[in-house]
A and B are shown apart, each in its own frame.
Chain A
Amino acid sequence: MIELNEEYCKGCNLCIEYCPRDALEPAEELNEKGIHPPVEVEDRCNGCRLCELICPDFAITVVEEDEEED
């Protein structure tokens, strides 16, 4: 699961561009900052964590599904 810190995100959308599984897409509506933040597409993410590393703004965290259950 991909968690986004909207306070840190600046809307460069590099995560959407470089995701090898197309698991992210721009939100339809603008947020308070005036950007389209990335939102997760359901059942696409395989947890490769590339978006976490490619994000220049430290905004994305990939949480593994089994961690959530604990």
Chain B
Amino acid sequence: MEEKEEKRKVEMISAKEIRDKYLRHDMMPHIFCTGCGIGNVLDYTLWALEKEGLDMDKTVFLSGIGCSSRLPGYIDVDSLHTTHGRALAFATGVKITNPELNVIVFTGDGDCMGIGGNHFIHACRRNIDITVIAVNNYIYGMTGGQVAPTTPEGDYATTAPYGNLEPAFDMSEMAISSGATYVARWGVKRPNQPINSIQEALQNKGMSFVEMMSPCTTAYSRQNRMGTIEEFWDWYEDKTILAEDYEKIEQYGSEEEKEELEDKIKVGVLHKEKKKSLSERIQELIEEVQV
């Protein structure tokens, strides 16, 4: 019993220790707007890194352009801040030339699905051993709230004053159908599930994709009249449903419950499979060809 008690105390690391270990305090406070969820995504990633115990000298962070792509700048680790949408292309290069490195990519919905859409589907297809943490806020927040490929149909944006006419991309579905081996989607309001999920994504050997639905309180909220910060955060809570619950309602639910499902977004671990990653296959080929 006493041993257990001691173990528990060792595991309880304080938030201050984590922040001192991973954050660049000279860059703080960060640039994100009041009530923006991207800060939480960074926080959850730091906790996942701590739980997984990754060697920070063997970890590289990459990002493209956008609000979410500023994240690696706040972490005290080697990082590459690349051109718009090309973070995954750079990540492919880093992982293949040096397979020992843990490669983590922060990207946004515009960076990943819009400008870098092509790189994204091919990174999934190749199943490279990288972890992609994509922040989906439904809009191009940094440039003033233009329509993004993920903006839901009918929503308002500065370039869609009468409502968006285009159907939206579902980032996680896209990742699954393109061949990623670990796909999860979470909101930012509940901390523990995303922390565990990011940890699983770091452990997975292959393309891991974690979509974080983060509220954009400046661009999206103002255009779509989402109310106060708390109301907007709660809106995400009402809009989402756990993937397990979704499947149960689809199977056994009443007609009314099934109708309610239509506007809901599934959250949870959406896909898991085991496949050989490209970097492993390249290493095997090198060993095979060398005499």
Chain A contacts to B: CB under 8 angstroms? 7-8, 10-14, 17-18, 49-50, 52-63
Contacts and interface: CB of A to CB of B under 8 A. Distances in A.
Interface string B45-62: 001000000000000000
Contacts of B19: 58
B15 A56 contact: no
B40 A61 contact: no
Given A10-B29, A10-B34, A14-B230, A58 B39 contact: yes
Contact of A56 (B16, B28, B37): B37
A57 B39 contact: yes
Given A14-B233, A52-B15, A58-B29, 11 more contacts: A8-B29, A18-B189, A53-B44, A56-B32, A56-B35, A56-B39, A57-B30, A60-B15, A61-B15, A61-B16, A62-B15
B52 to A, nearest CB: 17
Chain B interface size, as a band, is 20 to 34
A17 B33 CA distance: 18
B14 A61 contact: yes
A14 B229 contact: yes
Interface string B190-210: 010000000000000000000
Q: Is the interface of A mostly helix, strand, loop or mixed?
A: loop
A25 to B, nearest CB: 14
A52 B148 CA distance: 32
A7 B26 CA distance: 12
Contacts of A18: 189
A68 B36 CA distance: 32
Given A17-B230, A57-B29, A58-B23, A12 B40 contact: no
